[in-house]
Amino acid sequence: MNAGRHRGPDRSPELLTEQDLAIAALVGRYIERREHHETPRVHDLLVTAGEFGENAVDVVRAVLACYEAMRASEDLAR
């Protein structure tokens, strides 16, 4: 995602792309499903991400893996 990347010292940050917004929406759906104890349907989310290119699929996979790792560490801390 482009959030946080700057064009230069005198310019504003880059705007989110359509791909960035799609990835955020897909990850949001995944998290919402997990928190409501529903089937996350990861395959469907990855297929949708694929409409934005292979990079989008890789980013979604990485973010979901990080999310699951955070959930696991929270469970261990309890």
Q: Phi and psi for 13 in degrees, rounded to 5? A: -60, 155
Structure tokens at 63: 């973010």
Q: What is the pLDDT of residues 59-73, one digit of tens each?
A: 999 999 999 999 999
Of 32, 34, 36, 56, nearest to 46 (Cα)? 56
- Read off the DSSP letter of residue 16: P
State the pLDDT confidence band at 13, using cuts at 50, 70 and 90. Answer: confident
Beta bridge partners of 31: none
Judge if pTM exceeds 0.75.
yes
- Read off the DSSP letter of residue 51: T
Report domain extents, the chain: 18-77
